[in-house]
Amino acid sequence: MNAIEITNLSKTYKGKKFSTVEALKNLNLTVGQGEIFGFLGPNGAGKSTTIKALVGLIAPTAGSATVMGVDISSHEARRHVGYLPENPAFYDYLTAEEYLAFVGKVFHLPESLLREQSERVLKLLELWEARKRPIRGYSKGMVQRVGLAQVLIHDPDVYILDEPMSGLDPVGRALVKDIMLELKARGKCVFFSTHITADVETVCDRVGIILKGELKSVEHVDKIMTEGVLGYNLRIRTRNQPELVERYVAKEDLEMVMQKLFTAGDEISLIEPSRKSLEDFFLDIVKGKIC
């Protein structure tokens, strides 16, 4: 069973005076269990719209989707989901500990497990010291951490995170990446939106690029990285020259050049692939060079 299956999902927002915004057009996508999927797109591309439809906050205009096989129109679909909203806000008169207890009870966690899990995630996200203070007094990054804590506390199968790294310091970002990899290792599905390509490069198995409500590309990150290799920078020490020489070799010429150097008896001290980064790939799509 796929963790998330989206079929022909469309969403049109109705504004005032008959104006409409086609935020999402015919989206088809499946994400498997044990997969980290990055949903990449510029501002206003329709990432949050897709995610809000998945968690039942907005009703799709057309199409359907399932989470762990349950149709999203049922609240039962959300029993498998941990959702982090973008710029989250939580009942600010509650403390982090109380809020987690509330979420745990909604998910029917038994009391002892709840206490155990609460302590684990609060410590993991470095909220342990602040757990008895109302959320009202938290900083932006701390609220974001509460958001991650309430996602992790009930150990769901599917994680739907809208810009999970936003508002976090570098340590926090690294922590989130570690958490994602650990979830993947336990066979969980992580679906997250972002506009930062570097985040996708380091953790994702696949990336989907969405632009103006249309899904433009879905690729394995590995594949983009290998296909993105354009050539190599070689550092060579020739026999008759003491200094190192740098030389750029196009991808298809590499074998030939290596052969030549070898027969000449030159020494290669470094081979460095020069590649188009995911960022270049993303920008190419956004500028319409691909597709």
Partner 1 sequence: MFNIMSITLKGIFRDRVFHGILVVAFILPLIPVISTLSMRQVTELSITLSLSLISFILLLLAVFLGGTALWKDIERRYTYSVLSLPITRSSYLLGRFFGNALFMLITATLLGCVAAVVVWLVASGSPPDRQVVWMNFFLAVFFDAMKYILLVAVAVLFSTVSSSFFLPIFGTISAFLVGSSSQQVYDYVNSQPAQTLSLLTRKTASSLYYVLPNFSAFDLKVNAIYGLPLSLKGLFLTVVYGLVYGGIVLALSSVIFAKKEMK
Which residues contact Mg ion by CB under 5 A?
47-48, 86
By residue count, the chain amounts to: 291
Q: How far apart are CA 53 and CA 23, in angstroms?
A: 11
Q: What is the DSSP string of 95-119?
A: BHHHHHHHHHHHTT--HHHHHHHHH
Which positions from 77 through 106 interact with ligand ATP, judged by CB under 6 A? 86
With H, G, I as helix, E, B as strand and everything else as coil, classify residue 213. Answer: coil
Please calculate the CA angle 159-87-204 and round it to the nearest 5 degrees.
35
Asked if 23 is part of the footprint of ligand ATP (rule: CB under 6 A), the reply reads: yes
- Token pair, residue 116, equals 């155990």
In the complex, what is the shortest distance from the CB of residue 216 to partner 1, in angstroms, rounded to a whole number?
A: 24
Q: Which of 6, 40, 46, 88 binds ligand ATP (CB under 6 A)?
A: 46
Q: What residues have CB less than 8 Å from 225, skipping those under 6 apart?
A: 201, 275, 278
Asked if 124 is part of the footprint of partner 1 (rule: CB under 8 A), the reply reads: no
In angstroms, how far is the first alpha carbon of the chain from the final one?
A: 30
Kindly indicate which of the ranges 41-49, 60-68, 103-111, 197-205 contains the residues binding ligand ATP, using the contact rule CB under 6 A. Answer: 41-49
Kindly indicate which of the ranges 46-54, 230-238, 251-259, 274-282 contains the residues binding ligand ATP, using the contact rule CB under 6 A. Answer: 46-54
Asked if 52 is part of the footprint of partner 1 (rule: CB under 8 A), the reply reads: yes
Letters for 115-154 (x = contact with ligand ATP by CB under 6 A, - = none) are ----------------------------------------
Chain mean position to CA 135: 26
Asked if 83 is part of the footprint of partner 1 (rule: CB under 8 A), the reply reads: yes
Asked if 65 is part of the footprint of partner 1 (rule: CB under 8 A), the reply reads: no
Which positions from 192 through 231 interact with ligand ATP, judged by CB under 6 A? 195
The residue (of 150 and 193) whose beta carbon lies closer to Mg ion is 193
Q: How far apart are CA 72 and CA 67, in angstroms?
A: 7
Strands 206-211 and 214-220, by their bridges, are antiparallel
Asked if 105 is part of the footprint of partner 1 (rule: CB under 8 A), the reply reads: yes
Q: Which does 71 bind (CB under 5 to 8 A by kind): Mg ion, ligand ATP, partner 1, none?
A: none
Q: Residue 36 in contact with residue 208, Cβ under 8 Å? A: no
Selection from 116, 141, 115, 113 nearest residue 127 by Cα: 141
Q: Residue 249 in contact with residue 261, Cβ under 8 Å? A: no
Q: Residue 159 in contact with residue 67, Cβ under 8 Å? A: no
> How many other CB atoms sit within 10 Å of the CB of residue 253?
13
Asked if 38 is part of the footprint of ligand ATP (rule: CB under 6 A), the reply reads: no
Q: Which of 20, 26, 76, 139 binds partner 1 (CB under 8 A)?
A: 76
Q: Which of 26, 28, 71, 106 binds partner 1 (CB under 8 A)?
A: 106
The residue (of 86 and 126) whose beta carbon lies closer to Mg ion is 86
The residue (of 84 and 101) whose beta carbon lies closer to ligand ATP is 84
Q: List interacting residues with partner 1 (CB under 8 A).
A: 13, 52, 55-59, 75-79, 81, 83, 85, 87-94, 98, 102-103, 105-107, 134, 147, 150
